[in-house]
Amino acid sequence: MKKLFVTIFLSSVLLSSVSYGAGLNGFFGITLNDNAEDYVSSTFIESNKGKHRETLDGYFYLIITDEIENKSPYATYYEIVVDSNNIIHSIIGTSELLNLDVCKAVLESVIDSLEERHQIEFEYFEQPYPEFKIYSYFHYNNNLENYLAVQCNEVYGESKVNLQIYTNTFEIGGAIDEFYDSGL
C-alpha cells in the first residue's frame, strides 16, 4: 500500500510541473522556446555552457541543477540545451535508479499518468547503442513542434540505470538526427 501511495504521490508531483498550452512543452518550471535568460543570468549561461555532445554545432548544454526551482522527485540532475541565441530547445531531468526493473516500474507509472491526464498516447521504442540501451516512451504533440520522452537508460558494464524525462523542440531533434546520421 505504501508503494502505491508513493507512486501516486510522485506521479502527481511530476505532473504538476508540466506546462500546458499547445502541448506538453515544458517541465520543472521551464518552457521550450523561451530564452534561458528568463531562468538564469546571461553571465551564468556564458560561464557554464558547453558544446552539446549529440549535435554537430550550434547547440550547447547548460547544467542547471543548482538553479532549478521546480524540482521533481524523478530528477536529481537538470540540464537544458540552448542555441547560440540562448533559446531553450531541450529540458532534461535525470535520476539514477537502483536497477532496470525499478526504472521500468517508475517509467510505466509516469507514462500511465501522463496519458490519462493529458489524453495522449505514447509510443514505445527500444534501441541499443554501443555504450547503453534505451527503453523509451515518446510522444509528439499534435503539430509536431515538440517531442516528449520518458525513458530508462541502461549503461553497459556498470550497474547504472538512469531515468530520464525530457522534451525537445523539432529543431534540436533534427540536429541530433543529423549528428547520428553523420556517423560520428
What pLDDT does 55 receive?
92
In the block, which residue shows the cell 535520476? 95
pLDDT digits (tens, 9 = 90+) for 14-34: 333 333 334 567 888 999 999
**Across 163-177, average pLDDT:** 92
pLDDT digits (tens, 9 = 90+) for 51-96: 999 899 999 999 999 998 888 888 999 999 999 999 999 999 999 9
Instruction: Give the DSSP per-residue string, 114-144.
Output: HHHHHT---EEEEEE-SSEEEEEEEEE-TTS
Which residues, in sequence order, are bridge partners of residue 31? 26
**Cα separation, 179 vs 47, whole angstroms:** 25
pTM assigned to the model = 0.82
**Across 167-181, average pLDDT:** 91
